[in-house]
Each structure stands twice: as structure tokens, then as C-alpha cells.
Chains A and B, each alone.
Chain A
Amino acid sequence: MSRRSLAIAAIFALLSSLLASCWDKAEMNELALVSMVGLDRDPDSGLYTVWLQIINPASGASAQKMPGGEQAPVYTYKVSARSFAETQLSIYKLMPRKMFVHHAKAIILSERTARRGMRDFLNFTELMPDARSSVPLLIADGPLEDVMHTFTPLERNPADSIASRLQLLYELGLMSGRRIEIRDVIERSAKREIIVLPLVAPTARQGDPNSWQVNAEIDASINQLKVGGGAVIRDYRMIGRLSDKELVLYNLLNGSRGRFVRRYPFRDGHITVNMKSRRVQRKLEWRDGKPFVRVRIRLDISTLTMSEFHPQTMEEVRELERHVSRCLADELTAFLESARGKGWDLLRVRGLLRRKAPKLADLDKIADEAEIGIEVESRITGMGNLSRLYDGTGGER
């Protein structure tokens, strides 16, 4: 390499230090890692209040030997301003580090904000280049201030605790869905379809939940957060609620594949069936010029949780399968009828019609008139450890 080439290379190497990325750099200990965001808007004053839960790195397992290892796992900062942008700036009156939202695990909106509409907030979020749309959005069922000022046992970081529970509720109870993130709300609302977001509520309080009493308290059902129920959102606005039981049916109809348990009357008593959704198909058909939505649900059921009845023959197995299918189909039909009565298109028939028959005029009316047929096909795939249940009088039956 000639001397000139070397000189040019050296100059370029020196100039590289002036590259813009050098100014973008931020050391980890200069960042405030946001784990959860709370948002409320006072309808009277129009004032936005934002709570930011910032992870305290000097707390937790990684910092056990460091001074401060026994500090709060998160700190909640609260700021109020007329606009989101102003709240973002005002936060630095309190916070000494640069806000870093990439690792936020949950965003919680107060119910009143959700009912008035969350469009402005979503617009603001989407405009920010460093914001993420893959964060679960939840609605506070109760005072948001309480939600943001509550530690959670076991998982000390409330955002981690909520994220973990959403996952478990999906896998083991079907009480949460996969489509609960910001992008899902935007996508569904843009299509004028309904989406159901999880609700989070503070539980009963005793003592000071904002203290070490949380760790000292053995009763984990108090002084913490509870995730349950669903907020029905349409057009960026909360329009109603679903109970836990309804939430399971909603998630099942929307293709979630978690495991869940239902209790149905059977013969002279009841049975508790453990079920897992295998496949959900929605098919649009036309009957007498009217749309007919056929929903086919294939389920794997198991008698693992069925302490009331244990099938002994193939006939009994088939009977059980038919019975469970029928009960679930009836339940789903009733649920959908009730929702349609409220004007909620939880099966998203409108979207199906738009996709399959885009040239239809007056889509809303046709969707409302659409017939729905639910077909459930269940198959026993799992049995308990017993070949027959123990007999005797010491039981409920």
C-alpha cells in the first residue's frame, strides 16, 4: 500500500469517529429501562398523566452483593402534561437517565381513557421511531395509580409478573389471547373489527402495598395485581367487558390454541372436561342469498380432570365426546347470540365478508344478518392414570 493510500485510510479512520452513530451511543448505565407504562387522561381537565415504571438495576439477583441489592425492583415516575410529548419532556425533571422504552413489557390504560378512545395515544406511539408496537396493551380495572404503585410477589417486577401471567393464562386457561398487542389493536380497529384486551386490577389492600410488607405478607392474593376478564375494544374505544368464562369462549372462537377446562351437566351429575383446541375454521357459505358462517372447531379432550365419570367402553367414550361437543357448541352459540345482541361482532364476520365478498354493499347490515353455525368435533386423546374410579361412599356423589 502506498504512503498516500495509508494516509487516506488513516484520515478515514479518524473521520469515522465523527460518524453520527458515535453520538447515538449510550452506555447501559445511562439508560432508564422502562418496564411498564401507565396512561390516563382526565376527561375534565384534558390533562395526560403518564406513569413510568423504571427497572432498578441495583436490585434483584444480579445485584445481590451490590449496595442497593435490597432496593425496590422498580421505581414509578409520574408526570402530567397537556400532551404526550410534554409528558415525555417533563419526566426528566424527575428522572436522571435517558428513557429507554424498548424493553417495556406492558402498557396499561385507565378504563376511562380506554372508554374515551386510545387513538391519539396509539398515533403518538406509532410516530415514535424507538417505540415498539409489540407490547401488550392492558386496561386497568380500577384506579391506575394503584396498579402502578403495586409490587407483585414472586416476580418482583410487576411488568414481568403481568407478562408471565398473560402467557400462563393463554397456555393453561385460554383466558388470554395472543392478539393483545398495540399492533393488533391498530390492525383490528383499522378494519373496524373487535379486539379484546386483558384487564388488570389491584387486589384488596392491607397495610402499605408500596413497602416491604409485600414481601413479608404470606397471603399473596392481597396487595397485588390480578389479571382477569377482558375489555372489548372497537374503533380504538372500550365498549364493554367480558367475564373470564366468556373470554375463554372468545379466545377459542378466535383460533387460540390453549388448554382450558369446562364443567358440563352429564347424566345425573356434572363432568369437568379438560380441552385443547386443535383447529378452528371459519367458512363463509351462502344460503338463500344470505351469508352463513360455519365455524368448525376440533378439540382434543381428556378425562384427566374428570373425577366424576370415567368412560369404560368405547360407547361411553363416543357418548362423552358427542356430549362435550354438543354442550360446547350450545355454549358458544349462546355466547355469540348474546354478544350480537350487544352489537359485538366477536366472530369478526364483517372482516370475513369483506375478505371473501369485497364487493358487497352495506357490509355491516349483511354481517348482522349472517347466520352462524357452530360445529364442534371433540376427540378423547388423554385419560387419567386410573382405569376405573374408586368406589365408596366418602365422596360427593
Chain B
Amino acid sequence: MGRTSRDRPIGATLADEIRTALGSPPDLVCRTVITDEGRAVQCVYLDSLIDKRAIDEFIIDSVRRNAFPEKAGEPAESGSPYMRELPLRAPYGTIRDEAVRAVVDGQCALIDEAKERLCLIDIYDAPGRQVEEPKTEPTIRGSYEGFTENIRTNIGLVRKRILDPQLRFERMTIGSRSRTDVMMIWMDNLAPQELVREVKRRLAAIRTDSVLESSYIEEFIQEKTLTPFPTLLNTERPDKVAAQLLEGKVAVMVDGTPFVLVAPLTFFELFSSAEDYYQRADIATFIRWIRLISFFVAVFAPSLYVAATTFHQELIPTQLLISLSAQREGVPLPAFLEVMLMEIVFEIIREAGLRMPRAVGQALSIVGAIVLGQAAVEAGLISAAVVIVVAVTGITNFVVPVYSFGMSQRLLRFTFILLAGFMGLFGVLCGTLLLIAHLVSLKSFGVPYMTPFAPVSMSDWRDTLVRTPRPRMDPNRLPASIRLLKRK
């Protein structure tokens, strides 16, 4: 043992094989450390994935000082998942694969020829952001911490908020090529076992080569694909995830993305923000209603404008009709096309603004919003009222606290404009009925999407339509969605 069939030192051979298996990457480091006893220990790691300080100050130093267990032959049980020792006596293919995998995972492989041991030490520290303010869900009051791309940091952000031994984590590796770390989190005493089992089952059933963002997972585990509505909450706020876990929900963290998934999700939870619980109850209720109104404005305003101005002019108050009619004098396009055109232009500007560098994006928004709108009105291409409708719609679209729900609203808005353009209010009404039917048919991990309105649970309206003051809330009462699952 300790020798390959070609009678070459196994340490050097293993190091070479790791190099070959990884295609001799520039960040692979293979160095030989000579211990105080004069033994040569091969140290192999990927320079880009490890903590360099740990290598220099701890590992190399420890190896030199011969600080590892002395007992030859029998690897020590470290008891830590971050440090494993394997005997080199094991079948060579297994040892090689293990070493290659460990190096790719950001571990340092120490090959001690003399003691016939392979020691794998997890000193993973990939380059990434520090904890910063969440980009998509900023708040005025409350924590400014947001998740990062590092799953370990993210676990810490949740853990420090819930210092309860009942907090459970389960790690999975998904993606045959990316081998992404996925972490399931739940409160053992709060989350319904059925929900935990179901999430586990769906995660385990995923067959894919890579998971680069939590949306990959979302698409695999959501109940219905053909729906504009998100059935899993995605958030980059640790406080929100902590609150959801305390309500008995299950979170799914994916390494490499700050967006954490939470299941189950109901429609009205899309209108509540973490800040609702940091503000006074009356203010939070008011803001929640503003969000509800904004949703209706964002989805229906352009279609109602098209329907009313094209088919049902009798519904418009006389003075407003005169004013709108005056604005439309000389406008060449029908109201339907006018609105469609402006909405598409607005979406283009928004999309361009997102992709552009921040400094340019600001200039672009000025050009788009002011110059283009004003110029189009003055050129007589569109009426001023349409600019107002599109602008109001655009602004109200950003009111919802969940970005993915904002995207759903955009899709719905275009559908309703089409219906209004073809069939007027009748079309809008038909669309609304279909939308309601669709919403009622949706489920998120077995929970009806319209809970607590369908099925009705009036006691939960106190945290749906309004936000009841905290002293009047029962801290032990779980939301209707979770109670439903527990009852099953």
C-alpha cells in the first residue's frame, strides 16, 4: 500500500490525477509541505474557492508542526463535517474521486504519504458580496440585512433571528453538474409534517444538471406551471423568512442566490410586506389597502380606459368626456392601439433601464418618461390622458412588495387591454371572471391560493384586509394556510 502499480508515490500520483481530472486549471494549487519530522505532505486546493488565510495561518502551519493525529494507519474521527480523514489504503478509484470532488467543493486535500492518509478540510470561501441591503425589497424601518449568494452566510442570517432548537435544516445537493447546495429550513414544532414531507419529496424528485438560481427549484416544485401568479414566495429578506418560518412555513435556500423560497404562499400574502409589521397597525393597514388598490389600478386601469373610451362613453362623466375628447382631437390611432403602444414602449424603457448601467439608466428614464411622453403628446401621436394612464399604471405596478407579482400584473394588464379592445367592458368582465376562477383553482403545496377568502376564515382577515395591533394577535395562532394543512 502507499504505492501505485507503477510504483510511484501515491501522494504525487493523486495530486497529478486531481490536476488531470480538473483539466489543469490555473487556480489549482499543489504544494508540498515538509513537516518538522521531514515528511512530505501534498496540499491540493483550488485557490479561488478557499480561505487563503486559513491555508497559510492554520493548515500549512499545522502540517509543518505535525499537528494532525499521530496514530498511523487509523484515521482520526474528527467529528466535524468540515474535516474528514480517509485512509489511502481504500480502493484507489474511490479515493481519487473523493479527492477530486472535495477539491471542487472548495476543500483542501492533504495527502500524507507516510501516514497513508488523505485529509480533507473544508475551508470553502468563494468570492462574493458581503451582507448588504436587499435590492428588491428595501424598507425604511426594519433590518437592512439581505441574503447574499453564500448559503452559509444566509443560514447564519436566519439562525441568528430564530435562536430556537426546533429550527431544522436539511441539506440536499441538486444538479448533476452544478451540485448546488440546497437547504430546507423549517420549525419542527410549527411546520406541518405533511408540508415538510411534501417539500422534501418534490426537492428529491428534481432531476436537472444545474441549479443556478432558486427560480430553477421554484419551477420544479410549484404546483402549476401555466399561471402568471407565483405560488412560492421569493424574498431576499432574512427577517421575512424568519417570520414565515415562525408561521410554520418551509423555506428553501439555494447556494449562489440571495433569493430564498418560502412555501406555501397565498394570494393575499403578496400584498403584505415585512415593513407592515414594523409600522404602527393603522399605518400598515392603510398601506396594505393602498397596495390592494394599486393592484387593481395596475391591472385594470388601461383596460377600463380603453373599454370606456371606445365602447362605453356613456359611463364617463360629461366634463371628463369632453376633456378626453378634446385631447383625442387629431390623434391618429384608436385608443386601443394608443394604450397598447404606450404600454409596450413603457415596458421597453423599463427593461432597458434594468439592463443599463445605473448612471445611464437614470438618464434613460428621464428621456423615456418625460421627453418621450411629452414629445409624443405634443406631436399629436397620443393623447395626454393615455400618458397619465400608462404612467399611473407603471407606478402602481411597483407598489406590490413582491417583484415577481409585479411581473404577473404586467402580463394580466396586457391580457385585459386586449379583451377591452375587442369586447369592451364585457371582455373585461369575462376576463375578470376567468381570473377569479383561475385564482380559486390555484394551490400552493395543497393550500388554496385564495385562503382566507376561499375557503373563508374570517378570523384571519385581521391580518389580511387589516393588520391588527400586535397585542390583539394571538402569537400561538398559525395562519389559515398552515392550519388547513395541519388539519389534513
Which one, A26-34, A240-248, A333-341, is touching chain B? A26-34
Q: Evaluate contact between A57 and B322: CB separation under 8 angstroms.
A: yes
| Residues A24-69 near B (CB distance < 8 A) | 24-29, 31, 33, 35, 55, 57-58, 60-63, 66
Decide yes or no whether B310 CB sits under 8 A from chain A.
yes
Q: Which of A13-21, A190-198, A224-232 contacts B (4 or more CB under 8 A)?
A: A13-21
How far apart are B343's CB and chain A's nearest CB, in angstroms? Answer: 18
Contact, CB under 8 Å: B326 / A63: yes
Q: Which residue of A lies closest to B333 (CB)?
A: A27
- Nearest CB of chain B from residue A353's CB, rounded to whole Å: 39
The reply to whether the CB of B329 lies closer than 8 angstroms to some CB of chain A is yes
Judge whether B485 is part of the interface by a CB distance below 8 angstroms.
Answer: no
Interface residue B422 (Cβ < 8 Å from any Cβ of A): yes
Query: Of B111-119, B266-274, B311-319, which stretch is located at the interface?
Result: B311-319
Residue B423, interface by CB 8 Å: yes
Assuming the contacts A33-B325, A57-B325, A58-B329, asked whether A25 and B311 have C-beta atoms less than 8 A apart, the reply is: yes
The winner among B309, B323, B329, B426 for most chain A CB atoms within 10 A is B329
B92 to chain A, nearest CB (A): 52
Stretch at the interface among A99-107, A116-124, A249-257, A373-381: A99-107
B55 at the interface (CB under 8 A from A): no
Contact B325 A1 (CB under 8 A): no
Across the interface, do B422 and A29 meet the contact criterion of CB distance under 8 Å? Answer: no
B328 and A33 within 8 A (CB): no
Taking the complex as formed, is A89 at the interface, i.e. its CB lies under 8 A from any CB of chain B? no
Task: For the complex, give the distance between the alpha carbons of A160 and B317 in Å.
Answer: 13
Tell me, rounded to whole Å, the shortest Cβ–Cβ distance linking A96 to chain B.
13
B423 touches A27 (CB 8 A): no
Partner of B329, one of A25, A57, A100, A103: A57
- CA separation between A103 and B324, bound complex, in Å? 14
A22 part of interface (Cβ distance < 8 Å): yes
Contact A33 B322 (CB under 8 A): yes
Q: Does B335 contact A (CB under 8 A)?
A: yes
Q: Is B424 an interface residue (CB 8 A)?
A: yes
| Docked-complex contact A31 and B325, CB < 8 angstroms | yes
Q: In the complex where A16-B422, A19-B423, A103-B318 touch, is A24 in contact with B311 (Cβ < 8 A)?
A: yes
Whole-angstrom CA separation of A60 from B324 in the bound complex: 12
* Chain A residues near B322 (CB-CB < 8 A): 33, 55, 57, 60, 62
Does chain A have a CB within 8 A of B327?
yes
Q: What distance in Å separates the Cβ of A338 from its nearest Cβ neighbour in chain B? A: 40
What residue in chain A is nearest B311 (Cβ atoms)? Answer: A25
Chain A neighbourhood of B323, CB < 8 A? 57, 61-62
B163 at the interface (CB under 8 A from A): no
Given that A1-B226, A27-B328 are known contacts, is A105 also in contact with B424, CB under 8 Å in the complex?
A: no
| Residue in B310, B318, B326 whose CB lies within 8 Å of A105 | B318
B422 to nearest A CB, angstroms? 5
The residue on A at minimum CB distance from B384 is: A62
> A100 touching B326 by the CB < 8 A rule?
no
Contacting B at CB under 8 A, from A70-86, are: none
Chain A residue numbers with a CB within 8 Å of B326 are 57-58, 60, 62-63, 66
Q: Considering the chains assembled together, what is the distance between the CA atoms of A24 and B424 in angstroms?
A: 9
From B321, B422, B424, give the contact of A28 (CB < 8 A). B321
User: Any chain A CB within 8 A of the CB of B331?
Assistant: yes
Residue B334 CB within 8 A of the other chain: yes
Partner of B423, one of A21, A26, A60, A62: A21
* Residues in A whose Cβ lies below 8 Å from that of B426: 21
Count residues of B near A (Cβ-Cβ below 8 Å): 25
Number of A-B contacts (CB under 8 A): 77
Closest to B423 in A: A21
Residue of B with least CB distance to A102: B314
Give A70 to B6 CA distance when docked, in angstroms.
103
B412-428 residues at the A interface, CB under 8 angstroms: 422-424, 426-427
Question: Could you say which residues of chain B place their CB within 8 Å of the CB of A31?
Answer: 313, 325
Residue of B226, B328, B422, B427 with most chain A CB atoms under a 10 A cut-off: B422
Complex Cα distance, B418 from A16, in Å, reads: 10
- Give the distance to chain B from A141, nearest Cβ to Cβ, in Å: 26
Cα of A100 to Cα of B329 in the assembled complex, Å: 16
A27 to B323, CA, bound (A): 14
| Bound Cα distance from A58 to B326, whole angstroms | 5
CB atoms of B314 and A19 under 8 A apart: no
Known: A27-B335, A28-B313, A31-B313. A103 touches B422 (CB 8 A): no
Cβ-defined contact, B422 with A21, below 8 A: yes
B329/A29 in contact, CB under 8 A: yes
Query: For B427, what are the chain A residues with a Cβ–Cβ distance below 8 Å?
Result: 16, 21
Q: Tell me the complex Cα distance, A29–B323, Å.
A: 11
Contact A100 B423, beta carbon cutoff 8 Å: no
Asked if residues A16 and B334 are in contact (CB atoms below 8 Å), the reply is: no
Q: How far is the CA of A27 from the CA of B332 in the complex (A)?
A: 11
Per-position 1/0 for B102-117, Cβ under 8 A of A: 0000000000000000
Q: In whole Å, how far is A86's beta carbon from the nearest beta carbon of chain B?
A: 25
Provide the residues of chain B in CB contact with A1, threshold 8 Å: 226
The 8 Å CB contact of B324, one of A17, A28, A66, is A28
B residues less than 8 Å from A105 (CB atoms)? 318
Contacts of B327 in A (CB 8 A): 62
Roughly how many angstroms separate A29 CA and B318 CA in the complex, as a whole number?
14
Contact B310 A29 (CB under 8 A): no
Asked if B328 and A103 make an inter-chain contact with CB atoms under 8 angstroms apart, the answer reads no
Closest CB-CB distance, B311 to chain A, in whole Å?
Answer: 6
Give the residue name and chain of the B residue nearest to A17 (CB): B422
Contact assessment for A29 and B321 in the assembled complex, using a CB-CB cutoff below 8 Å: no
Cβ contact of B321, chosen from A21, A25, A33, cutoff 8 A:
A33
- Bitwise, A145-177 to B at CB < 8 A (1) or not (0) is 000000000000000100000000000000000
Interface of chain A residues 194 through 253 with chain B (CB within 8 A): none
Interchain CA distance A26-B321 in the complex, whole Å: 13
Bound CA span A105–B321, Å: 14
Is the CB–CB distance between A28 and B423 below 8 Å?
Answer: no
Within 8 Å by CB of A26, from B310, B318, B329, B331, lies: B310
**Docked-complex contact B424 and A26, CB < 8 angstroms:** no
Tell me whether B321 and A103 are in contact (CB under 8 A): yes
Complex interface: chain B residues within 8 A of A19 (CB):
422-423
Chain B CB count within 10 A is highest, among A28, A63, A103, for A28
Contact assessment for A100 and B313 in the assembled complex, using a CB-CB cutoff below 8 Å: yes
Complex Cα distance A28/B318, Å? 12
B32 to chain A, nearest CB (A): 61
Contact at A28–B314, with CB atoms within 8 Å? no
Residues in A neighbouring B334, C-beta threshold 8 A: 25, 27
Residue of chain A at shortest CB distance from B330: A29
A290, chain B: closest CB distance, angstroms: 50
Q: Are A102 and B313 touching (Cβ within 8 A)?
A: yes
Query: Contact between B226 and A16 (Cβ–Cβ < 8 Å)?
Result: no
> What is the CA–CA distance of A25 and B331 in the complex, to the nearest angstrom?
16
- Distance, CA A58 to CA B309, complexed state (A): 17
Chain B positions within 8 Å of A160 at CB level: 318
Instruction: Please name the residue on chain A nearest to B336 by beta carbon.
Output: A25
> Are A66 and B329 in contact, CB atoms less than 8 angstroms apart?
yes
8 A-B pairs with C-beta separation under 8 A: A25-B310, A27-B335, A29-B330, A31-B325, A55-B325, A57-B325, A57-B329, A60-B326
A residues with a Cβ closer than 8 A to B are 1, 16-17, 19, 21-22, 24-29, 31, 33, 35, 55, 57-58, 60-63, 66, 100, 102-103, 105, 160
Given contacts A19-B423, A33-B321, A63-B326, 8 further A-B contacts (CB under 8 A): A1-B226, A27-B309, A27-B310, A28-B335, A61-B323, A62-B327, A66-B326, A103-B313
Which 4 interchain pairs have the tightest Cβ spacing?
A102-B314, A62-B323, A57-B325, A57-B326
